[in-house]
A and B are shown apart, each in its own frame.
Chain A
């Protein structure tokens, strides 16, 4: 089997597992309760609820140090089963009794095994039929949707999947660190390197434990899965926000496949990174907030006056305090509220979960979600400031934050320090621009501040962006100048405002041109800014047309666009940079997809939305979508798939996969440069080649190094990777020249970067040749490709081989037989 085929299988299996727990199981349990909701809303709720549950289940079990397959399984099956029974009004005992009776009848011989098997088979067939009917129901009348979704999946496979099935290594330098943190969850050691948002790690860990999928496999293929979910969520949210049937696809197609943005805004999708996973929950949070506002208004509008009176009396009664009665009343109130406002509460719950998860996954996602919340507060200002909304929303926000922060706070309170990148985050917020203000971070502790190859080696957590806050230009008035008249003053202030607006606008345009748009598409930067202006105008128009809900929603999205534009250009404008411009660009581009669809949809809705013939709107939206696709096809073109540079050769990943398949756990050691350390941590041992070579440098066989496993694999890159730092010998094969170089006595990640990697690999290769000469039958070539070779050494565990030898390039004085 080829590694490509295996990767495809791994992708399919991992996707199935993930969608089983995030869509199918919640659908089976909550489907009945949520059947009145739209399909897209149901899907969002399933996805959000399940992820939230998994994440927090892992957190709880980890903090109790009892997380394992059994507890995770029990923690999933028992509550889910109980809920299912409750929702479907089935008594547990009755169910057990029925099943027991069937079993009893079979055991007693009253029912033959064949009959029992037939009945089970019939039941399974029935389930399949039900599922098929459900799918048919969904597809009925949605053929074009199905085709567009298929096209979207094809585009995503083309753009992002090409990399996934041709480059097998991690594409970001901090992936091994995330892998390491997840590995330690298996040892019930959450926050192993310090307190950090572990939401993403919890999900990967859950998949790893429950479905026995190797963490490194999940991390390799999950990048594509989460990329598809990000696009799927954008589509679902647009489906919820747009009136027209097909315009949601416009934004998603533009975001997924049009060739108009720079690589750096979507390069991170080639790695399974927390920030991108957290992005999944930003838009649903906003959508749930929109729906909450809309539905609460409806529900409150329905509330009869008598009920209001009753409520007031109840509150009055509550003032004469009686604990039992108060509790009883509170429960009654909650029940009553849930019954009456079930619809809006689901949305509120969804919003809370999404917001909580953004914080539990990555702070940048919380920032984006937070900005959207501010925008929503502005868009719905008239309602937001009302006590009943304000209190509920703010309380929800606090609870969701508390839920997300609680595990971290508990860990911090029990003595776990903050992870270094959090100090960095705080540094950014406090204006210290990426300078780590906490304890110094070493390679060993593994900070999550990684680097993406192909981004010019800029660290994406601490990339040096534009200049920091610049001093306010021009003091307001110079001493000694003559007094201005009022007219002059007004004129000056107007001029200054005009200048400031023009200046901010220019800087926003410049920022979009620099970070987001391709050079040849840079002229469209003002158009991008025009999107939020258009949304704002449409929002106002809706308000004028008495479509307050849509007006507020459009105003919210417009405000979000404006705030994000400011944030994107913050370094240039001179406001505090809460987020690095490159990272902000990822969200910004995501937002453009949302805005484009909404702007066009708003236009059509305002123009022809009032027509009774709804098919007209659909037809026009279809035509507009087709036109836009045609336009992009001819003008912008389809985005070409890029093959991201990986930090591990394909040969190394394939070799590791083979070792894991063939060898018994913990009977082997891999001696390689770094990445395999975390990938294989659950199965075997790892030793650094730098350490191996160091042990014999200058001393040869006088040094001693024994690796106490039956088998030792040595990974050597014949054509060493640059590992983010190009050098004089970049792209060259290992050589005698490289082996002759002085031993690089460095530490940290620079060990394997730049020329050092070439030197290490060259020395390693000649060591392997010399060692093979001494052990020709014991050390063999295990796998070889054009750029990679793996040697396999089989040894006697009762009498190990000393790996320290004089291999000719370790500066040892000659004392051997050849004297």
Chain B
């Protein structure tokens, strides 16, 4: 028999325990403010778009006159101009574009930081020789024809080519050496059968053998040859020649015509100079588009494949999978809600899971946004109207600042269609020729995706390294519509999630020092990045960086050659890899003190 006294004691203890457990939950519920977007900031505190200068022959782009780049191109191929223009804009350099070398010479400009050459003909060689003599660094963005190179000794001596072996050879892979682009060494050569699908690099290149006083950054591999050539005789893809102390860079293939050109240009300038300091965004985004879907669509197929509805698939299968990836790779998600994809099937969006997902997202530090993806059966404006009605009905106080819009529909917003006032940024897929980030309207930015989480080919990897080098930026966009509306047998979550986990956990590891951001955070950084300007100079062991238009903080990459940072005043720093540092400027004047060369035993 239990005494009354003991009974009372036990009851009190039970009550105390009950209270303690419930108390924490209640407090958490109240304090977390699940329906508040913590990443949302006041619109008027954000930098807005600066007017963009027009581009023309001999025109300069941008405002600064301090260092400038010259591009000699007849602009028949806009892609190179676009890439160079974009790179100059982001690195705050002035760009002059000339039709030909003669026009440049006539302009009588002082020595540029780098003279980029698009297409070079035999007739340009004497002028090139003269430029090299004058000590002007050149970059052959587009290699002259093999015949021109092989027949012209002067051109070969400018390019540092010792021997021309073949007009075209098929490579088995490509070897990117450490120290050029961020991310270290990469060998783009499939070793196993299943890796063959990753190979999408340009493997047909002319075969040159480099002379002395050259440095190769990327070479082709010829593993299929019986008598494998020595490493130094492999076909070079990107290299440098020091012609009488003047740096001449050359790129075989169309790497400069793609967005990858930006990283290559940054790396070249870093190679050329004693040190190189340039601004970066420092943002690593991962956007999950169309998740969660609020309407249970494509029911039959979902039942057939997953034996459950779309809602249950999302909650019970996809969400845990995504969380596992987040925990392993440390990414930060931006989830873009899909209200409804197919407006013809009668499956209307439901509000019941909305709060649930908001809670989960808040716990994971994620941001929620809205996807404007839809089937073609309805126009974008109509979808926006119907969605607006739905959102009004939800009594949801969360402010969605990030939207997803398909690239083809972005133009509609320039043509009168308006996004809700609270929208800050729009995520969209990357299209060749488009800017990586820009202003959609005066106060809305567009952030393009740089990678597809499901697929990471060699070319994608090269692009990733290039963009991380030039901008410290990556944007993985994972579209779950492929799961809800599968086209092939491979569009299944178990397959795609494997790929997603593998890719995000592997290829982004090298860039872990860059910060993981959600779209709104990244938006703030992009705005600051686009708005700032800077100057820097070095006096002995101190590099002084002067930042203009600084909003809170800005990030810079400092690339050195065998020197280390001892201290940074006006900011902080961390090492990304050997000789590469990420500087966070918190003040307008940053002083980077370099370590003096230390000898352990003095003679």
Chain A residues at the B interface, C-beta cutoff of 8 Å: 1-3, 6, 650-651, 653-655, 657-658, 661-662, 700-701, 704, 706, 773-778, 780, 783, 785, 788, 794, 796, 798-805, 815-819
Give the CA-CA distance A777 to B601 in the complex, in Å. 24
Task: Give me the 8 closest cross-chain CB pairs, A-B, nearest first.
Answer: A654-B603, A777-B561, A802-B212, A774-B242, A774-B213, A701-B212, A799-B216, A773-B245
Q: Evaluate contact between B177 and A799: CB separation under 8 angstroms.
A: yes
Closest-by-CB residue of A relative to B213 is A774
Q: Evaluate contact between A816 and B157: CB separation under 8 angstroms.
A: yes
Residue from the list A2, A775, A788, A794 in contact with B601, Cβ < 8 A: A2
> Closest approach, in angstroms, between the C-beta of B540 and any C-beta of chain A?
15
B410 within 8 A of A: no
Chain B residues at the A interface, C-beta cutoff of 8 Å: 129, 132-133, 153-154, 157-158, 162, 175, 177-179, 185, 211-216, 219, 231-232, 234, 242-245, 271, 274, 561-562, 599-603
CB-CB under 8 A for A780 and B562, given A817-B154, A818-B244: yes
Q: Evaluate contact between B175 and A773: CB separation under 8 angstroms.
A: no
> Closest approach, in angstroms, between the C-beta of A782 and any C-beta of chain B?
8
Could you count the A-B residue pairs with CB atoms below 8 Å apart for me: how many are there? 100
Closest-by-CB residue of A relative to B242 is A774
- Collect the chain B residues with CB atoms within 8 Å of residue A777's CB: 271, 274, 561-562
- Collect the chain A residues with CB atoms within 8 Å of residue B219's CB: 799
- Collect the chain A residues with CB atoms within 8 Å of residue B242's CB: 773-775
Give the CA-CA distance A221 to B175 in the complex, in Å. 48
Give the CA-CA distance A700 to B162 in the complex, in Å. 13
Give the CA-CA distance A780 to B242 in the complex, in Å. 16
Give the CA-CA distance A706 to B158 in the complex, in Å. 22
Q: Evaluate contact between A701 and B213: CB separation under 8 angstroms.
A: yes
CB-CB under 8 A for A817 and B132, given A658-B600, A774-B213, A777-B274: yes
Give the CA-CA distance A706 to B245 in the complex, in Å. 21
Q: Evaluate contact between B601 and A817: CB separation under 8 angstroms.
A: no
Q: Evaluate contact between B133 and A701: CB separation under 8 angstroms.
A: no
- Collect the chain A residues with CB atoms within 8 Å of residue B158's CB: 817
Q: Evaluate contact between B600 and A662: CB separation under 8 angstroms.
A: yes
Give the CA-CA distance A815 to B153 in the complex, in Å. 9
Q: Evaluate contact between B132 and A785: CB separation under 8 angstroms.
A: no
Residue from the list A651, A774, A785, A800 in contact with B231, Cβ < 8 A: A800
CB-CB under 8 A for A817 and B603, given A774-B213, A798-B231, A805-B213: no
Give the CA-CA distance A766 to B496 in the complex, in Å. 60
Pairs A–B under 8 Å by Cβ, sample size 19: A651-B603, A657-B601, A701-B213, A704-B212, A706-B232, A775-B215, A777-B271, A777-B562, A783-B599, A785-B603, A794-B562, A796-B216, A799-B216, A800-B231, A804-B212, A805-B212, A816-B243, A817-B132, A817-B154
- Collect the chain B residues with CB atoms within 8 Å of residue A803's CB: 212
Since A701-B162, A775-B215 are in contact, a sample of 20 more A-B pairs with Cβ atoms closer than 8 Å, ordered by chain A residue number, is: A2-B602, A3-B601, A6-B601, A651-B603, A653-B603, A654-B601, A774-B213, A774-B242, A775-B242, A785-B603, A796-B215, A798-B185, A799-B216, A799-B231, A800-B231, A800-B232, A805-B212, A805-B213, A817-B132, A817-B158
Give the CA-CA distance A816 to B133 in the complex, in Å. 11
Give the CA-CA distance A1 to B177 in the complex, in Å. 36
- Collect the chain B residues with CB atoms within 8 Å of residue A3's CB: 601-603
CB-CB under 8 A for A1 and B157, given A794-B562, A799-B232: no
> Closest approach, in angstroms, between the C-beta of B405 and any C-beta of chain A?
44
> Closest approach, in angstroms, between the C-beta of B577 and any C-beta of chain A?
15
> Closest approach, in angstroms, between the C-beta of B230 and any C-beta of chain A?
8
Closest-by-CB residue of B relative to A797 is B231
- Collect the chain B residues with CB atoms within 8 Å of residue A776's CB: 274
Q: Evaluate contact between B178 and A658: CB separation under 8 angstroms.
A: no
Closest-by-CB residue of A relative to B129 is A817
Give the CA-CA distance A654 to B244 in the complex, in Å. 34
> Closest approach, in angstroms, between the C-beta of B67 and any C-beta of chain A?
18
Residue from the list B232, B245, B271, B600 in contact with A774, Cβ < 8 A: B245
> Closest approach, in angstroms, between the C-beta of A668 and any C-beta of chain B?
14
Interface centre among B175, B211, B244, B602 (most CB of A within 10 A): B602
Give the CA-CA distance A777 to B563 in the complex, in Å. 10
Give the CA-CA distance A2 to B244 in the complex, in Å. 39
Q: Evaluate contact between B603 and A655: CB separation under 8 angstroms.
A: yes
> Closest approach, in angstroms, between the C-beta of B277 and any C-beta of chain A?
15
Interface centre among A661, A774, A780, A817 (most CB of B within 10 A): A817
Give the CA-CA distance A654 to B599 in the complex, in Å. 9
Give the CA-CA distance A654 to B603 in the complex, in Å. 5
CB-CB under 8 A for A783 and B154, given A777-B561, A798-B175, A801-B212: no
Interface centre among B215, B219, B271, B601 (most CB of A within 10 A): B601
Give the CA-CA distance A3 to B602 in the complex, in Å. 6
> Closest approach, in angstroms, between the C-beta of A658 and any C-beta of chain B?
5
Give the CA-CA distance A774 to B602 in the complex, in Å. 29
> Closest approach, in angstroms, between the C-beta of B429 and any C-beta of chain A?
36
> Closest approach, in angstroms, between the C-beta of B427 and any C-beta of chain A?
38
Give the CA-CA distance A6 to B603 in the complex, in Å. 10
Closest-by-CB residue of A relative to B272 is A777
Q: Evaluate contact between A815 and B215: CB separation under 8 angstroms.
A: no
- Collect the chain A residues with CB atoms within 8 Å of residue B244's CB: 773, 816-818
Interface centre among B132, B154, B213, B600 (most CB of A within 10 A): B213
- Collect the chain B residues with CB atoms within 8 Å of residue A788's CB: 603
CB-CB under 8 A for A802 and B232, given A701-B213, A796-B178: yes
Give the CA-CA distance A580 to B231 in the complex, in Å. 56
Closest-by-CB residue of A relative to B185 is A798
Closest-by-CB residue of A relative to B562 is A780
